[in-house]
Structure 1
Amino acid sequence: MARAATTSDAFNAIAEPQRREILMLLRGGERSVTELARDLGMSQPQASKHLRVLREVGLVRVREAGKQRLYGLDARGLRPIHEWVGGFERFWNGTFDRLDEYVRDLKQARQEEAADDDDQ
């Protein structure tokens, strides 16, 4: 089966762990490809390839600064991912609400047991 193109959307682009690492580094501010490659322990061509993919799906922007190209995070591209993950929020909130209710019931039962033991 053919592999999906990594440049088709943000979901595919961030499926690659090194690209997620690049995004994490760019949260701290703009960086050159040389800095990113050094910090990630990869070659400059590897880092450039990942940055190209991230730029094509709108997760990274680039700006010229003299002879350097500085890459920065464009978090607007993460919106589809945020919205998709947000759809699971109701599930997790409901799960945590049920867990909280269970813990309250358990505490109440233990308090009642302790009160019964004190009465005897």
Structure 2
Amino acid sequence: MTVDSATLSALAEPTRLHIIELLRQGPFTVGEIALRLQIRQPQASKHLRVLSDAGLVEAEAIANRRIYRLRVQPFQDLDDWIGSYRSLWADRFDQLDTHLQRLQQPNSPDAPPPLALPTDP
């Protein structure tokens, strides 16, 4: 499983990430997005174009308005990709937990030696 670099690049810009977070609440027009994020409408349009080119959002034209919403598939792909790393890290954390439990057992060969306290001269 691989993730399109355009997806990661689009999400790396903070304003675009804020737009994605906003669109999680539901569809919005460009004007509503600009208003809620306190940016100018041309800025919002520019960021939405990048998100659209990356396949993260889709627009529906109604009269002279464009209503943007998230596309589900790219986020499912991203979750699948991250999930492959999740299992890798879960295994490593399990191994770390086992190692730490061994260290806490008295007389364990893996246990660190007791701390030596300084003596007065």
What is residue 65 of structure 2 aligned with on the other side? 68
Distance 1:78 1:103 in 2: 36
Deviation by residue 1:42-69 (Cα, 9 ceiling, x = unmatched)? 1111110000011111100101233321
What is residue 40 of structure 2 aligned with on the other side? 43
Q: SS at the partner of 1:58?
A: coil
Cα RMSD for the two superposed structures? 2.3
Q: Which amino acid is the alignment partner of residue 50 of structure 1? A: H
Q: TM-score, normalised by structure 2?
A: 0.70
5+ unaligned residues in a row in structure 2: which ranges? 107-121
Distance 2:28 2:72 in 1: 15
Contact 1:10–1:78 (CA under 8 A) maintained in structure 2: no
Q: Which amino acid is the alignment partner of residue 39 of structure 1? A: R
What is residue 83 of structure 1 aligned with on the other side? 80
Distance 1:78 1:95 in 2: 26
Aligned residues: 102
Give the number of the structure whose residues are more often helix, by fraction.
1
Instruction: Return the offset for 1:83.
Output: 2.9
Distance 1:25 1:100 in 2: 38
Identity %: 39
What is residue 113 of structure 2 aligned with on the other side? none
What is residue 55 of structure 2 aligned with on the other side? 58
What is residue 16 of structure 1 aligned with on the other side? 13
Contact 1:13–1:57 (CA under 8 A) maintained in structure 2: yes
What is residue 95 of structure 1 aligned with on the other side? 92
Q: Which amino acid is the alignment partner of residue 55 of structure 2? A: G
